[in-house]
Amino acid sequence: MNRIRWITAALFVALGLFALSHLSAGAESNISVVSTSHVNKFPTNVTFALEANSDSDITKATLYYRIKGSPVLTYAYAKFDPATHIETEYVWNTQRKYIPPGVELIYYWMIEDAAGNRLKTEPSSFTIEDTRFEWQKQDGNNLTLYWYQGDARFANSLIDISNSGLDRVSRDIGLQLQEPVKIFIYASSKDLLGALEPKAQEWTGGRAFSELGIIALTVEPSQSGLAWAGLALPHELSHVAVNQATRNPYGGLPHWLDEGLAMYAEGPLEPEYQRPLDVAVRNDRLISLQSLSSNFPADPEQARLSYAESYSVVNFILSDNGRDKMTELLAVFKEGSTYDDALLAVFGVDMDGLEAQWRLSLGLQPEATPVPVAPTSQGAQDGAVRAEVEEKPQSGGICGGILAIVGAAGGILALGVRMANG
Ligand SMILES: [Zn+2]
């Protein structure tokens, strides 16, 4: 591990020298840069260092950085006492504003002195790697798989799973990856947790950072690990493909659509999802599509039903209207439409209308049966609350394949979280 760190540090120094040799000096500037460098201490921080001289006191050094593919440019001031020679650094705490492995970062410095000179360094770029492991990599169709435990056959199987998942997404939903995806395979939950933000739940089995085209997943190099990957990889790849096809500055998809497509990408609905769906249909206790449009319930049983319903609605749309209509719907969402307007434009019904059609297809009345309200209860109950009183299906004893959605810090990303098998 030390050797890897040493090599990594050497690379960073090399990058720093590259930056030094490509300075864009201001016309009359007397500022000169002695060195710039960066050290990646994933997952804790990235330290950017600067050494510079000028004839007058250097008063300000601003670091500008942005994630490749993102238009957001962030800046930070390095702290130092004004002097003609400065050695300073800025430590970017990557746990407070979490950054996953595989992100490419671009940065430069702006240096200013008391005489009014300014000097901007040429941008440097590097990838924030998880240097705790010795990664191997293999390319698939528009994706790269990184892994560190297991043999080449294991990696080939994961590539095959990813490719066939993407084939299914393309064939049945009409979506292809538009930008390359990086998949990091961790051999244990402990290893994965070490790569996630400190608040990550212990049961987290994987994450899709859809906006960044990055997936981090726990897959043990074993038959059961591959079986798990057979569901999880197509699921997360669907999230990335959907994000790439619909990304826009105005709004996203209803959760039930994004998750329903991801569940559909996995293949036929697993019995542990089918069972609670059947129970909810039998008792007319489905969670409403309005409720399923935002974050799913945290309760595992309710989460399971939410995913099952999402699959069921997407399956209904695809079998009733076909793949091309789904592609059309996603294209409308890319324009930044509201949920109702998008559905009206493509299917001629709003979300309530779609829900009524879907309910009919399940043998239910178009409208949900109102739940009797106990005298002590307060006011109307929404779908999620209603569903909490439904008969609970028998649990299989392990929380295999339960999915939940949480928002990332800053609300930029929707993260797919899947519980690992117990
Ligand atoms: Zn998901």
- Cα–Cα distance measured from residue 15 to residue 388, given in angstroms and rounded to the nearest whole number: 56
pLDDT of 414? 27
Residue 247 lies in a domain: yes
259 C-alpha vs ligand 1 centroid, how far in Å?
5
Does 224 share its domain with 323? yes
29 C-alpha vs ligand 1 centroid, how far in Å?
53
Domain that holds residue 200: 136-367+383-419
What's this model's pTM, rounded to 2 decimal places?
A: 0.78
pLDDT of 136? 97
Name the residue with tokens 């569903």: 387
Average of per-residue pLDDT across 280-309: 94
- Give ion ligand 1 contacts, CB < 5 A: 259, 262, 416
Query: How many other CB atoms are there within 10 angstroms of residue 279's CB atom?
Result: 17
Residue 34 lies in a domain: yes
Say how many residues make up the chain: 422
Residue 357 lies in a domain: yes
Confidence of residue 77 (pLDDT cuts 50, 70, 90): very high
Helices 300-321 and 351-361: crossing angle in degrees, nearest 10, is: 90
Tell me which of 92, 127, 162 is where a domain ends: 127
Does 142 share its domain with 111? no
Q: How many domains are there within the chain? A: 2
- Cα–Cα distance measured from residue 160 to residue 141, given in angstroms and rounded to the nearest whole number: 10
Residue 357 has pLDDT above 60, yes or no: yes
pLDDT of 69? 82
153 C-alpha vs ligand 1 centroid, how far in Å?
27
Tell me which of 127, 160, 179 is where a domain ends: 127
Residue 53 has pLDDT above 50, yes or no: yes
- Cα–Cα distance measured from residue 268 to residue 382, given in angstroms and rounded to the nearest whole number: 29
123 C-alpha vs ligand 1 centroid, how far in Å?
36
Q: DSSP character for 218?
A: E
Tell me which of 83, 101, 127 is where a domain ends: 127
Does 84 share its domain with 180? no
pLDDT tens readout for residues 185-201: 999 999 999 999 888 88
pLDDT tens readout for residues 152-176: 999 999 999 999 999 999 999 999 9
Does 149 share its domain with 15? no
Does 212 share its domain with 356? yes
CA torsion sign, 131 to 132 to 138 to 142? negative
Which CATH number do you get for residue 250?
A: 1.10.390
More confident of the two residues 229 and 198: 229
Does 267 share its domain with 246? yes
Residue 374 lies in a domain: no
- Cα–Cα distance measured from residue 375 to residue 18, given in angstroms and rounded to the nearest whole number: 74
Residue 411 lies in a domain: yes
pLDDT of 371? 66
Does 120 share its domain with 147? no
26 C-alpha vs ligand 1 centroid, how far in Å?
49
Does 118 share its domain with 193? no
405 C-alpha vs ligand 1 centroid, how far in Å?
7
Element containing residue 92 per DSSP (H, E): strand 83-93
Helices 339-347 and 323-334: crossing angle in degrees, nearest 10, is: 140
Which CATH number do you get for residue 121?
A: 2.60.40.10
Q: What is the DSSP string of 153-169?
A: HHHHHHHHHHHHHHHHI
Does 242 share its domain with 348? yes
316 C-alpha vs ligand 1 centroid, how far in Å?
18
267 C-alpha vs ligand 1 centroid, how far in Å?
14
Does 149 share its domain with 88? no
Residue 291 lies in a domain: yes
Average of per-residue pLDDT across 102-117: 96
Confidence of residue 373 (pLDDT cuts 50, 70, 90): low
Pairing of β 181-186 and β 143-147: parallel
Q: Are 34 and 54 in contact (CB under 8 A)?
A: no
Residue 378 lies in a domain: no
Residue 178 lies in a domain: yes
Distances in Å between the Cα of 383 and the Cα atoms of 284, 286, 297 are 11, 7, 11
Does 276 share its domain with 394? yes
Does 230 share its domain with 180? yes
CA nearest 228: which of 180, 192, 176, 255?
192
Chain-wide mean pLDDT for the chain? 83
417 C-alpha vs ligand 1 centroid, how far in Å?
7
Q: Are 372 and 386 in contact (CB under 8 A)?
A: no
Q: Is 21 exposed, middle or buried (0-12, 13-18, 19+ CB in 10 A)?
A: exposed
416 C-alpha vs ligand 1 centroid, how far in Å?
4
